Amino acid sequence: MKLEKEVKQNIYKIAVGSLLCSIAVVLVFLAFGRLDYTVFIGTAVGYLYAVGNFFFMCVGITNALALGDENAAKMRMRSSYMARTAVMVAVIAASLLIDWINPIPVLISVFYPKIIITVIDMWNTFVLKKGKDETVNYEPVPDDEEEETDEFEKFVGRFSKGPVPGEEDKNMANNTTNNEENNAQ
């Protein structure tokens, strides 16, 4: 399994952003006079959870795309999601049950990727002046135009262009049967 350059960059952004969020959490505990070793342990556990969860999400998507089969890809992504959710529940439960882990930083870490992605989108939209027109093209690209696409775009593109793989054969069989019935009448 080889991760694309863009995926690696996104994992790096989440890792750095999660570190900044973790530092902010520690500073808030410090400001309220509640800083102790349990906060540091909870922050470390939360950081590892946030970055690890995002990393394994990327790996799950990459592996699902490598399958090439839509149904198998859906099943792989669903199982990846369920496994990551089970890990999240286990990490949160452990932080609630173990006395030397402060659960608050762990609970907050669940939201780190969402916070980071939102900040990056806002930065791109307002600071770098990249509006919707530049970041996302909602109009379909004509088939005769050549464009460089990554694996994810190829995978997602199959959902909007033409029939579902494997369904063409069924549609052809139905059309053949309908034509034979029409000719018989």
| CB contact at 8 A, 64 and 73 | yes
Q: How far apart are the C-alpha atoms of 16 and 23, rounded to whole Å?
A: 11
| CB contact at 8 A, 130 and 124 | yes
Q: Both tokens of residue 63?
A: 């592996």
**pLDDT given at position 129:** 76
Q: What tens digit of pLDDT does each residue of 126-144 get?
A: 888 765 544 444 455 555 5
| CB contact at 8 A, 46 and 140 | no
Q: Which residue type sits at 148?
A: E
**pLDDT given at position 97:** 97
Q: How far apart are the C-alpha atoms of 2 and 169, rounded to whole Å?
A: 33
Q: What tens digit of pLDDT does each residue of 23-63 get?
A: 999 999 999 999 999 999 999 999 999 999 999 999 999 98
| CA-wise closest residue to 109 among 95, 124, 123 | 95
Q: What tens digit of pLDDT does each residue of 85-127 get?
A: 999 999 999 999 999 999 999 999 999 999 999 999 998 888 8
Q: Which residue type sits at 61?
A: I
Q: Is the dihedral of CA 92, 94, 97, 101 positive or negative?
A: negative
Give the number of other CB atoms < 10 A from CB of residue 3: 14
User: What integer is the mean pLDDT of 78-83?
Assistant: 95
Q: What tens digit of pLDDT does each residue of 56-65 get?
A: 999 999 989 8
| CB contact at 8 A, 101 and 41 | yes
pLDDT at residue 157 above 70?
Answer: no
Q: Is the dihedral of CA 53, 56, 62, 68 positive or negative?
A: negative
**pLDDT given at position 127:** 82
